[in-house]
Amino acid sequence: MAEPLLAIDRLDVFHGDFQALYGVEAEIAAGEMVAVIGANGAGKTTLLSALAGLLPRPAAAIRWQGSPIGALRADRVARLGIALVPEGRLLFPSLTIEENLIIGGRMGRRGPWGLEAVYRLFPILRERRAFAPAQLSGGQQQMAAIGRALMANPALILIDEISLGLAPVVVRQLYEVLPAIVGEGMAAIVVEQDTSRALSVSRRFYCLQEGRVALAGASGSVTREAIGRAYFGV
């Protein structure tokens, strides 16, 4: 079997004294879209932060194309081609929208994404490119945050709570463009509380419950009941 793009092996993550993840095992292949679902506090955001290098984690627990990357600082992880769209968007408030995009592309990785491509994907950002992030709606900010991550031409994009706090129409719009993004050969891990939406766009899923993988499988064949049990642990 070919080496997966990213392999997670017995990943334990702590917030100080509090253990947030227990022996998480998962993997993702190049170009694949995987959903991570679970209730509030199940450890979804912690998992993405750990993958992006923002939290301390065991050096050998995360392998990128076969090499351990658990000891790398977040900026090194980013240079490998792993981009995070953080929960709450977290655009740089003192940079304009266009500057936020440009800084996302500063590592100079080659690929299909550039300012033009992002503006084609989200035309509203072109109109608002000279605005400060605070002047944009939540949905537009989310577009800018996704655009900023795409600008890095990552091999793997991690998207945290894409729909959090957004109007349903905006959420639908964002989910419509997701396949186009992954269609470019990029792998994606999408963290989502809206289970059915997450399952509908992904090929496989992992369901976290209290820091552990409670269920994993193909998104198309899982039953509502199985998800419910894994979600709430009943």
Write out the residues near another protein by the rule CB under 8 A.
Answer: 52-54, 73-75, 78-79, 83-84, 86, 90, 92-95, 99, 102-104, 106-107, 148, 152
**134: β partners:** none
For another protein, the closer of residues 87 and 194 by Cβ is 87
**Do residues 21 and 50 make contact, with C-beta atoms less than 8 angstroms apart?**
yes
Q: How far is the CB of 37 from another protein (least distance, A)?
A: 23
Q: Minimal CA–CA distance to 158: which of 59, 41, 51, 42?
A: 51
Q: How far is the CB of 160 from another protein (least distance, A)?
A: 11
For another protein, the closer of residues 79 and 203 by Cβ is 79
Read off the tokens for 182: 């992954």
For another protein, the closer of residues 78 and 162 by Cβ is 78
Q: How far is the CB of 214 from another protein (least distance, A)?
A: 28
Q: How far is the CB of 93 from another protein (least distance, A)?
A: 6
String of DSSP letters for 112-171: S-SHHHHHHH-HHHHHTTTS-GGGS-HHHHHHHHHHHHHTT--SEEEEE-TTTT--HHHH
Q: How far is the CB of 204 from another protein (least distance, A)?
A: 25
Phi, psi of 15 (to 5 degrees): -100, 95
Q: Minimal CA–CA distance to 3: which of 29, 34, 32, 38?
A: 29
For another protein, the closer of residues 1 and 134 by Cβ is 134
For another protein, the closer of residues 149 and 208 by Cβ is 149
